Amino acid sequence: MIDFQGKTAIITGGAEGIGLSIAQAMAKRGARIVLADIDGDQLQIAAASLSNNAAQVLAVTMDVADPQQWPSLVEKTEAHFGDIHILVNNAGVVGRNGSIESTEHNDWRWVTDVNMMGVLYGMQYVVPRIKKHNKGGHIINVASMAGMMGVPFAGAYTATKNAVVSLSESWYQELKRHEIFVSILCPAFVQTRIHLAHRNKQERYKSAKPSTPPSEKQLAAAAHMQQVIDNGLAVEIVGERVIEAMNEHELYIFTHPNYRQLVQHRYRAIDAAFERAEKSPLLAHILDEEPAGFTG
Ligand SMILES: NC(=O)c1ccc[n+]([C@@H]2O[C@H](COP(=O)([O-])OP(=O)(O)OC[C@H]3O[C@@H](n4cnc5c(N)ncnc54)[C@H](O)[C@@H]3O)[C@@H](O)[C@H]2O)c1
C-alpha cells in the first residue's frame, strides 16, 4: 500500500471533475495537494472544499499548454511543500465533434496543446524534481478509453489520447529504474463537465472567423454526448479506483470493465493482420529473427 502521508501531489485540471476526485482520494490519505487549473474561480471553490476537510492545499492558476508557466508551478510547489512525489497530468479538453476536414486547425492545436503537450510539459518539468530527491514517485497520465481505439468524428481527441497512452508506455520503461511508476488512466464516460470544455478555451485558439451556428448534426451529437456523460460513472469512484490501481503499480488503469470487448476487437484485428503478414512469402525470411530495439 502506498503511504500518501506527507507526500506532495500536483494535479492538473484539479478544479473539478476527475482531477478533483483524485485530489480528494489522495488528500483523504494524508497527501498534500497542489491543484493547478486554468479556471481560477472554480479552483478557489475546489481548494476551499479540500481545506474544509483538513487537507493541506495549494491552488495555482495556470495553463498546462503554456510551457512558460510550468517552472513557476514547480517553484511554488517546492517553496510551499518541499519535495514533489506525485504528478497527475489530468487537464484535458474535447473539441467540437466533427469530421477530419471540418475540424479547424485552431481546434486541433487547442486539443493537442492541452491534452498532449500539456502532459509532455508536466513530465519534462516535474520528473527531474522527483528524480532529484531519489525517493521514487508516481505519475498518473489521464488518457481515455479513446486512447485504446479509434473514435470516429473525434479525431483530435482520439489522436491525443492515443499519444498519451503510447508516451506513457515509453516513460513507464524509462522511469521504473528510478522507482517512479507511470500509470495511464483510461476512463470511458464519467459524470463531469468535459463536454463543456470550450468554457475554458484560451483566446489564442479561438477562431478568427465569425462563429457559425452549430449544424443540426452537431447539435444532435452534442445532445448525445451530454446524455452519455450524464449516464456515466459517478466521478467520486474514479479517484478511489486510481488509488486502488496505484497500490498495484498498474500501468493501465481502467474504470469501465464493460468496454473490454471493444478493446479486444482491436487486438484481434491487429493479431489477424500479423497472421496475414506471417503468411506473406515476401516476409518469410525474417519470421525467426529476434525483434530488435523495442525494449527498455
Ligand atoms: N469525463 C469523461 O467522460 C472522461 C472520459 C475519458 C477521459 N477523460 C479525461 O479526464 C480528464 C479530466 O476531464 P474531466 O472529465 O474531469 O473534465 P472537466 O471539464 O470536468 O475537468 C477538466 C479540468 O481541466 C481544466 N483545464 C482545461 N484546460 C486547461 C488548461 N489548459 N490548463 C489547466 N487546466 C485546464 C478545466 O478547467 C477543468 O477544471 C481529461 O483529460 C479528459 O480528457 C474524461
Query: In the prediction, which pLDDT does 217 show?
Result: 81
- Annotated active-site residue 161? The verdict is yes
The pick from 10, 11, 12, 18 for probing ligand 1's pocket by mutation, whose C-beta has the most ligand atoms within 8 angstroms, reads 18
- Annotated active-site residue 157? The verdict is yes
Nearest CA to ligand 1 atom 21: 17
Domains (ranges, CATH) in the chain? 8-259 (3.40.50.720)
Query: In the prediction, which pLDDT does 132 show?
Result: 97
In sequence order, the β-bridge partners of residue 33 are: 9, 57
Query: In the prediction, which pLDDT does 220 show?
Result: 86
Query: In the prediction, which pLDDT does 214 show?
Result: 79
pLDDT (tens place) for every residue of the chain, 296 residues total:
999 999 999 999 999 999 999 999 999 999 999 999 999 999 999 999 999 888 899 999 999 999 999 999 999 999 999 999 999 999 999 998 889 998 999 999 999 999 999 999 999 999 999 999 999 999 999 999 999 999 999 999 999 999 999 999 999 999 999 999 999 999 999 999 999 999 999 999 998 776 777 788 878 888 888 999 999 999 999 999 999 999 999 999 999 999 999 999 999 999 999 999 999 999 999 999 998 877 66
Distance between the two ends of the chain, CA-based, in angstroms? 26
Query: In the prediction, which pLDDT does 66 show?
Result: 98
The pick from 119, 161, 194, 225 for probing ligand 1's pocket by mutation, whose C-beta has the most ligand atoms within 8 angstroms, reads 194
Please tell me which residue in 121, 157, 172, 205 is annotated as part of the active site: 157
Q: How far is the CA of 131 from the centre of ligand 1 (A)?
A: 27
Q: Concatenated DSSP letters for the chain?
A: ----TT-EEEEETTTSHHHHHHHHHHHHTT-EEEEEES-HHHHHHHHHHHHHTT--EEEEE--TT-GGGHHHHHHHHHHHHSS--EEEE--------B-TTTS-HHHHHHHHIIIIIHHHHHHHHHHHHHHHHTS-EEEEEE--GGGSS--TTBHHHHHHHHHHHHHHHHHHHHHGGGTEEEEEEE-S-BSSSGGGGGGG--GGGS-SSPPPPPPHHHHHHHHHHHHHHHTSB-HHHHHHHHHHHHHTT-SEEES-GGGHHHHHHHHHHHHHHHHHHHH-GGGGGGTTSPP-S---
**What pTM, to 2 d.p., does this model score?**
0.96
Nearest CA to 138 among 86, 209, 190, 90? 86
Query: In the prediction, which pLDDT does 242 show?
Result: 98
Q: How far is the CA of 105 from the centre of ligand 1 (A)?
A: 21
Q: Which atom of ligand 1 is nearest to the CA of 15?
A: 39
Does residue 122 line the site of ligand 1, with CB under 6 A? no
Query: In the prediction, which pLDDT does 210 show?
Result: 67
Does residue 93 line the site of ligand 1, with CB under 6 A? yes
